[in-house]
Chains A and B, each alone.
Chain A
Amino acid sequence: QAQLQQSGPGQVEPSQTLSLTCVISGDSVSSNRATWNWIRQTPSRGLEWLGRAYYRSKWYYDYLFSVKSRITFSAETSKNQFSLHLSSVIPEDTAVYYCARGSVTGTSWFFDLWGRGTLVTVSS
């Protein structure tokens, strides 16, 4: 049974960088059938996909347009994990952040495995 274990701080100061890590068990970060995603949720904006990392002979990273200038993903094959780095955070980045595995149907990806979520508060 695959699992995703998230870790990272629950509070980040404004203008700093939010970093979260998701460790995969029961699957591989370098799987050629999956993507590895970060999704966040707030009461006002609902569920918001932030981006994905995936390996297809090399690493690819896709990011949500609205955060593209501030977001970076990384993946470490040796640790079977992937990470999110969101820079210059503002209070509006306060959210529950989830990592999730993406699997594909014919035309779009769905998320069939989720981490437990990390509430990150942007506050000084």
Chain B
Amino acid sequence: QSVLTQPPSVSGAPGQRVTISCSGSSSNIGAGYDVHWYQQFPGIVPKLLIYGNTNRPSGVPDRFFASKSGTSASLAITGLQAEDEADYYCQSYDSSLGGSSVFGTGTKVTVL
């Protein structure tokens, strides 16, 4: 089971801002491990969206903005577009049980 908790779904109208939270604990985000974010369309491979808490790979629009504080992180999408409708996952490292990369539970973004 995922140790990073995300809301199952968020929605917004085109042009609006939506925010996705990623809640962790003292053995992962709270321990200082970086958080990364992925975007996944149905039936498609996950795509790296944000790495190292705040960094966008080349080609990712600056409408995607991420931050991290304490034991949680968040991804914001500003100026929401229809093409942003997808699943979003956070990911970090967890030091419990020998250590492992861990993913969030995933959030479905719906553009109204």
User: Number of B interface residues, CB 8 Å?
Assistant: 31
CB of A107 closer than 8 Å to a CB of B? yes
- A46-B2, A62-B99 known; A107 vs B93 contact (CB < 8 Å): yes
> Which of A46, A105, A116 sits near B45, CB closer than 8 Å?
A116
A92-113 to B contact mask, C-beta < 8 Å, 1/0 = 0000001000110111111110
Known: A106-B52, A111-B48. A65 touches B98 (CB 8 A): yes
In the complex, whether A115 has a CB less than 8 A from a CB of chain B is yes
> Which B residues lie at the A interface, using CB under 8 A?
1-2, 32-36, 38, 45-48, 51-53, 55, 57, 89, 91-93, 97-106
Binding site for B on A (CB under 8 A): 37, 45-49, 52, 62, 64-66, 68, 98, 102-103, 105-112, 114-117
Given contacts A105-B34, A110-B91, contact A117 B100 (CB under 8 A): no
Question: Is there contact, CB below 8 Å, between A45 and B45?
Answer: no
CB of B29, distance to nearest CB on chain A (Å): 10
A107 touching B33 in the complex, CB below 8 Å, given contacts A46-B106, A47-B46, A112-B57: yes
Min CB distance A64 to B, Å, is 5
Q: Which residues of the partner chain B approach A65 to less than 8 Å between Cβ atoms?
A: 97-98, 100
- By DSSP majority rule, is chain A's interface helix, strand, loop, or mixed? strand
* B103, A98: Cβ atoms closer than 8 Å: no
Give B36 Cβ to nearest chain A Cβ, in Å: 4
Q: Out of B53, B100, B103, name the residue touching A46 (CB < 8 Å).
A: B103
> Given A47, A66, A108, A114, which contacts B89 in the complex, CB threshold below 8 Å?
A47
